[in-house]
Structure 1
Amino acid sequence: MNRFVLLAASTVALGGCASVQTPTRASAPVVTIDEHRPAPDAMRWLYGSGEAAGASIQTWRQIADYSIAIAQQSSVARSVPLGLPDAEGGIGTRSCTARDGTGKPLAVVFDVDETVLLNTGYEYWQALSGRPFDPSEWDQWADNGAGIARPVPGAVTGLRRLREAGITVIFNTNRNSETAAGTIAALEAAGVGPAAHLETLFLRGDDGMGGRKDGRRARIAESYCIIAMAGDNLGDFADVFNANESAIAARRAMVARGQYAQLWGNGWFLMPNPVYGAWQEGSIGEVFPPDVRWKPEPGDAPAIMEGQ
């Protein structure tokens, strides 16, 4: 995959003393290849550490154990809460009975990136180049990353266990719908497929709601009884969490208290991702509310000019 081409402009001499300057073309960024430079700490943890692998395997085992136990029940009345506005279900469940009175087939819904696939190739480029996220580069990766993207530790075994138990595996990702073929190829190459677009794979652009996933979840629930969901971002469970990402304290409180708090490990399973996500918001004042702040006594630490 020749994704990075360095272009150069030159001056061409045309006989005698005369010369003509050729028009210069915009050059692609020149990247200094220094693989000995320290990787960002978050990438070290997620893509290189044994601790991350252990946490992922642990979560995948919990997903499979929980879902198989639910599937062994004599019947399942309603799906796991899907975050959908629904007075009947409180926080958006759907009936597991189809219109004809039969039970819907059971399914577990997964995000893809950093939940099922590790985007090791793309993140390598990010670490090497130091460039900010570029949607066009990301789409290139989504189209051409098959064989480089690795499965999240535990995913291959976990998905195999689900499928062997007769549970349908469905992927709901914010990769663009134009990258469906590349995404399917990446899932297959990583050993976590199969997937079929608009059947067991749903992507951004499939329903006109952009990156919000509630609409896709509702569509899946029309045909399936969703007994569990897994992702690395709160929006993988309910759009309400990402409605105001700048409301740091309120967002955290919503997750950690009340009806939503009961769902973690009990139908909702969160994969660790310290590299990117909606969590990347918050000033010192927002992350540390007044009732948790502390300072050493004067003289024990350098003076700090507050508000500067």
Structure 2
Amino acid sequence: MFSAKLRTLVVSTALLAGSVSLPAWADETPYTTQNLNEQLVMANLWMQASAEFKALSYQAFNLAQMRFDHFASTHKSDKKIAIVVDADETIIDNSPYEAWLVGRNEGYSGKTWGEWMNAAEAKALPGAVEFLNYAASKGAEVFYITNRKMVGLEGTRKNLAELGFPDVDDAHLMLRTTTSDKEARRLKVAEKYDIALFMGDNLNDFSSDFKTKSLTESYAAVEKNKALFGTKFIMLPNPTYGDWEGKVYDGNWGASAAEKDKMRKAHLDPWQPKQ
């Protein structure tokens, strides 16, 4: 390995020479979280600027209403009907928080996420308020099973209530307590209600079948449950984050920014032009 002094001498000499190319090792600019955050730009731009994102959101809630009406019209049980929804990127939009990270040398943190939750500034996804109020007007109850931690309860309650969502109370706001696994909360709702629909942006919002450790296992779980998508499970688009990202890293969320960049790009399937 070259010493720091020798590196400086070689680089300085090359720069003075003008026409001499720098060796590959001479550029030691570290790849930072700020660099990695640049990869959020297109996903957030699409969510915030495209009409296509809004159209997909309306499409999801229009489909949800059709499926709810069908379920309600054929419902014979004495149990009441419930709809289970996730919160983040399912009924409310947190893209401003993700966009705030762009240009900053910091990633997601509990501290800044807590500040965002308490600010109660997330907007409703197009069609979300209208659909859930429609279902409530037909006698259904809405349960919000979210992995926001209890520290964000008041901010979440304030945000949802101000947006006009129904059933925003302690009985229906089911935030994360001891585990991110939502199955126990889903089963608790199912004890007293017949669940017409599950709505989410992450496969773990739907069933324990999706509690997988790898992308390959996730693909298999989707195939197993493919008949439920659009009938019992309604998926909302979220290209900015999710459980899938951790599987790209083989569960190593603590990897460096440079390592995450390499792992992300290693999963791309690029076109190979014929020579």
TM-score, normalised by the number of residues in structure 1 = 0.67
Q: Which residue of 2 aligns with 1:63?
A: 64
Structure with a larger share of its residues in helix:
2
* SS of structure 2 residue aligned to 1:225: strand
Matched, 1:119 2:87: no
RMSD (CA atoms) = 2.3
Task: For 1:49 and 1:285, locate their aligned partners in 2 and report how far apart those are by CA, in whole Å.
Answer: 28
Question: For the Cα contact (< 8 Å) 1:149–1:190, is it kept in 2?
Answer: no
1:229 Cα deviation after fit: 0.4
Within 5 Å, give how 1:73-222 maps onto structure 2.
73-76=74-77, 103-144=78-119, 146=120, 148-197=121-170, 199-205=171-177, 208=178, 210-222=179-191
Pairwise CA distance, 1:243: 2.8
Is it true that 1:265 corresponds to 2:204 in the alignment?
no
Structure 1 position 64, deviation (Å): 1.3
Q: Deviations over 1:183-208 (max 9, x none)?
A: 110001222244112x1110110xx3
Deviation at 1:212, TM superposition (A): 0.7
Aligned-partner Cα distance in 1 for 2:103–2:139:
43
Shift of 1:68: 1.8
Deviation at 1:139, TM superposition (A): 1.4
Q: Percent identity?
A: 29
SS at match of 2:102: helix
Q: In the superposition, relative to structure 1, how do residues 44 and 178 fare at CA in structure 2: closer, same or farther (>3 Å)?
A: same
Q: Say how many residue pairs are matched.
A: 223
CA 1:286–1:124 in structure 2 vs 1: closer, same or farther (change >3 Å)?
A: closer
Q: Which runs of 5+ in 2 are unaligned?
A: 1-33, 249-262
SS in 2 for 1:55: helix
Return 5+ residue gaps in structure 1 as ranges.
1-31, 77-102, 301-308
Q: TM-score, normalised by structure 2?
A: 0.74
Q: Please state whether the residue corresponding to 2:113 is helix, strand or coil.
A: helix
| Residue of structure 1 in register with 2:208 after alignment | 239
SS of equivalent residue, structure 1 residue 170 = strand
Mean Cα deviation higher: 135-144 or 230-239? 135-144
Between the aligned partners of 1:65 and 1:212, the Cα distance in structure 2 is 29
Which position in structure 2 is the counterpart of 1:254?
Answer: 221
- Find the counterpart in structure 2 of residue 50 from structure 1: 51
Deviation at residue 127 of structure 1 after TM alignment: 2.5
Q: 1-side partners of 2:152 and 2:137: how far apart?
A: 28
Where relative contact order (Cα < 8 A, 6+ residues apart) is larger, the structure is 2
Q: Distance in 2 between matches of 1:179 and 1:249?
A: 33
The C-alpha deviation readout for 1:31-73, integer Å capped at 9, x for no partner, is x9xxxx9970000111221100000000011111111221111
Quickly say closer, same or farther: Cα 1:39–1:251, change in 2 above 3 A.
closer
Query: Given the superposition, is the C-alpha separation of residues 111 and 39 from structure 1 closer, same or farther in structure 2, using an over 3 Å criterion?
Result: closer
Amino acid at match of 1:253: A
Change (3 A) 1:70 1:159: same
Aligned-partner Cα distance in 1 for 2:43–2:96: 15
CA distance in 2, matches of 1:294, 1:46: 26
Q: Aligned equivalents of 1:141 and 1:123: distance in 2?
A: 10
8 Å CA contact 1:151, 1:191 repeated in 2: no
Cα drift, residue 287 of structure 1: 6.2
* CA displacement at 1:286 relative to structure 2: 5.6
Q: Is the 8 A contact 1:249 1:287 kept in 2?
A: no
Q: Summarize the Cα distance change of 1:263–1:74 in structure 2 as closer, same or farther, 3 Å threshold.
A: closer
